[in-house]
Amino acid sequence: MSTRGRFTGVVVLTIGLTSILSLIAGCPIPDGSTPVANDNANDNAGTVDNANDNASTTPKAYVGAAVCLPCHADKHANWTATAHADALEALRGIGQEANAGCIGCHTVAFGETDGYVDEATTPDLAGVQCENCHGPAGAHSRDPGDLASRPVVDLAATVCGACHTDAHHPTMDEWELSAHATALEGLRSSSHAGDGCLGCHSQDYRYAIELQEAGDEVDVPTVETAQLSLECATCHASHGGVDQAHQLRLPIVDLCGQCHTQGEDAFPGGSPHHPQLEMATGVGAFDADNAALTVAFSPHASLFDASGQACAQCHVAAHEVEEPNEGAPNVTGHTFNPFDESIEEHQAEQYTGCIDCHTDADTADSKRTSVQAEIQAELDRLGAYFDSENALYIDPTTLSEADQARLATAKFNRDFVSADGSTGVHNALYARAALAITSDIVAELAP
């Protein structure tokens, strides 16, 4: 698995004063009594290469999620409803619960001192638990006030990628090839980079804002100090506690729409910025009188109703192969763009998400090719009117104030269709309508 020379991990641990005081006072337990040190005498007669001697009262490094429960009841309750909690059961379902090549990603610390041995010896360490991501919690559970022993909070995708990789589930391998993995790098290379952009380009920034809104005093990263791009935790709730499949933080349209939107403040005179949500749902452009442009039908509208897969229908196209291997791996859809031909591996067939509606790949390809050629030709034609080096350029300084406003609407609509990036595929009818407004206006204003 390649890391492509990018940043792959950082410990981000921030906590408010009230949280620190509660730790120093000792974690509460359900009956309200004083916390006691955990000796983790879980009777592990260690075997194999773990060399566990859990029959003794020797303090253990790994203690299991049950020990975290008294102080972290809400997170524990959420976690129990996730697939992680039943990870060993998933192996059992395919008869691999004793396969040493699989157990390491379905239990706590298999092969490490005090880690999982087998179900009979270490049942409390079965499944993917707190310590898989946060590290050993034994010392912390025995002395919660010792900040040096607190488990880490690492939001880097490499934490998840330690297991979500290889031919069977190459999520990490795919994500590394995606634009999400380089979102922070891309922002820094932009001429208009600013800290306000980090909400859609940096996971550690998003986490700092989340903590700040919860009342913690934290240092919020800047473009210069942010370290993480858009990682797994940007879209997936690590502890669960959400109503969406795959531990997604929000319904897909809202999740993608947090960033793939021009927002509420995009108007003629400005420049629309990544308006994919608006284009797909048929809003965001303007009529000649500056009223909102409406089109009666959006061909992809059904994808955005309560039961639709929205953006994921096409952009998270997944498929499984009968016998996955490095040459023919499964595909989870985490390159997020099967149409990006610069990504040569870990891609689903381009039209995997389209053939549910478009009959077959050839039909979908023909429609896509035709629409994109049409829209691109119109974008190119209309672009001449806004290019000061072109003979067709309309100079706004020669127009009345009213006509300047009309020209601004024309330019906005063309920029809106261009900035969407799909060249009409997201919503061909709306793209045509927006460009028709532009065409009508420039035809009237051209000298």
| All structural domains of the chain with their residue ranges | 27-144, 250-317+353-447
Q: What is the pTM of this model?
A: 0.84
Question: Residue 58 pLDDT > 60, yes or no?
Answer: yes
* Contact yes or no for 260/277 (Cβ under 8 A): yes
pLDDT per residue over 398-421, tens digit each? 999 999 999 999 999 999 999 999
The single-letter code of the amino acid at 346 is H
Q: How far apart are CA 307 and CA 285, in angstroms?
A: 26
For residue 173, what pLDDT is reported? 96
Dihedral Cα 165, 308, 376, 408, nearest 10 deg: -120
Query: Mean per-residue pLDDT for 114-131?
Result: 97
For residue 432, what pLDDT is reported? 97
For residue 244, the 8-state DSSP code is S
pLDDT per residue over 326-350, tens digit each? 999 999 999 999 888 888 888 888 8
Q: How far apart are CA 72 and CA 54, in angstroms?
A: 24
Q: Which of the residue ranges 9-23, 62-76, 104-118, 350-364 would you say has the lowest mean pLDDT?
A: 9-23
pLDDT per residue over 70-93, tens digit each? 999 999 999 999 999 999 999 999
Query: Mean per-residue pLDDT for 410-438?
Result: 97
Burial grade of 368 (CB within 10 A; 0-12, 13-18, 19 or more): buried
- Neighbouring-strand partners of residue 35: none
Q: How far apart are CA 268 and CA 364, in angstroms?
A: 34
pLDDT per residue over 20-55, tens digit each? 333 333 443 333 333 434 444 444 444 444 445 445
pLDDT per residue over 223-282, tens digit each? 999 999 999 999 999 999 999 999 999 999 999 999 999 988 899 999 999 999 999 999
Question: Residue 63 pLDDT > 90, yes or no?
Answer: yes
